A = this chain, B = another copy of it.
Amino acid sequence: MENKEVKESVSDILLKTTSKLAQPESYETVYTIPLHGMPMPDSEVLVEIVNTLRQIIFPGYFGTSNVNAGNISFYTGVNIDKVHKLLSEQILRGLCFDCIKENKNSCKDCENNAEILSAKFISLLPEIRERLSTDVKAMYDGDPAAKSFGEIIYCYPAIRAITNYRIAHELLQLEVPLIPRIISELAHSETGIDIHPGANIGNYFAIDHGTGVVIGETCVIGNNVKIYQGVTLGAKSFPLDENGNPIKGIPRHPIVEDNVVIYAEATILGRICIGANSIIGGNMWITDNVAPNSRMNPNR
């Protein structure tokens, strides 16, 4: 084919495909009408928010390196202002995304609500920091390869994933839509660790290596629990409503009590209870309750 003919035929294909894709019947099920012109939450801004929170929580490790007792309130104050501003905007987008579903006529209150929710979240930061410091300690104590707290805070993917989880969990408790999920997926993508923000997880929580870990929406995890890579705490099955759709929100994931260790690639499914102080061996498939103080081993 001649060069000119190629150009013309290409041009023709592009125009025709554009026209097809712009037909309402083509796009209707994969399209969103932004209510009140409010765009979707912005993942890059959420990354920036999480990074700024990391600077607030772990001073000296992330962000400026010359923070000291004299200037720490300057840096913290500026970062908290920044998080409040950015997060209010993203929460607003999340609220408006829900407005679409609820077909609300107006979301005038959304703006004020977003500012208040963002501030409420910020007021929880001292507690989030405290919990994370227990996680750091647990991971240091349980890992012969770790040489200092700092190495864990700065290099370990698990601490990144748990930080995102603890942030996302509090946002979900405040009933912020969509944002918690995006924040946990950011960590999932970076670390391969997939913790649903709805899960309840105690202090001194440790994950080793972590790739492939899945912790479901209604999991309840006690204090001082340690899990390895590839562990699934999932649902076994879920009841359907009369229309054959899954019923949302029913407890369907495991309860893991205090001081449990679960080794690599174990799959634990359903609303069962792994009793305190138990050790679950790797590659196991568990769908029934496990008594406290048990030792489960795949080759026995």
A residues in contact (CB < 8 Å) with B: 1, 3, 6-7, 9-11, 13-22, 24, 26-27, 29-34, 37-40, 56-62, 64-78, 80-81, 84-85, 97, 100-101, 112, 115-116, 118-120, 122-123, 125-126, 129-130, 132-133, 136-137, 141-145, 147-151, 153-157, 177-178, 181-182, 185, 188-192, 194, 196, 198, 209, 211-212, 214, 216-217, 228-230, 232, 234-235, 238, 245-250, 252, 263-265, 267, 269, 281-285, 287, 298-299
Name A122's closest neighbour in chain B (CB-CB): B17
Name A69's closest neighbour in chain B (CB-CB): B24
Number of copies: 6
Query: Mind listing 16 A-B residue pairs with CB under 8 Å?
Result: A7-B115, A14-B77, A17-B122, A21-B125, A26-B129, A30-B132, A34-B60, A75-B78, A100-B150, A141-B245, A155-B178, A155-B182, A156-B185, A211-B211, A263-B267, A263-B269
Q: Which residues of B contact A59 (CB under 8 A)?
A: 27, 30-32
Q: Which residues of B contact A69 (CB under 8 A)?
A: 24
Q: Is the CB of A34 within 8 A of B246?
A: no
Q: Which residues of B contact A247 (CB under 8 A)?
A: 144
Q: Is the CB of B31 within 8 A of A58?
A: yes
Q: Which residues of B contact A150 (CB under 8 A)?
A: 32, 97, 100-101
Q: Is the CB of B283 within 8 A of A285?
A: yes
A151's partner among B14, B136, B181, B198 (CB-CB below 8 A) is B181
A148 to chain B, nearest CB (A): 6
Q: Which residues of B contact A97 (CB under 8 A)?
A: 150
With most chain B CB atoms within 10 A of its CB, the pick from A18, A58, A73 is A18
Name A189's closest neighbour in chain B (CB-CB): B190
A225-B168 Cα distance, complex, nearest whole Å: 31
Q: Which residues of B contact A194 (CB under 8 A)?
A: 209, 211, 229
8 A-B pairs besides A7-B115, A15-B77, A27-B72 with CB distance below 8 A are A20-B126, A21-B80, A22-B72, A24-B69, A74-B74, A144-B252, A145-B248, A265-B283
Q: Which residues of B contact A85 (CB under 8 A)?
A: 66
A37-B81 Cα distance, complex, nearest whole Å: 13
With most chain B CB atoms within 10 A of its CB, the pick from A21, A68, A130 is A21
A144's partner among B141, B229, B249 (CB-CB below 8 A) is B249
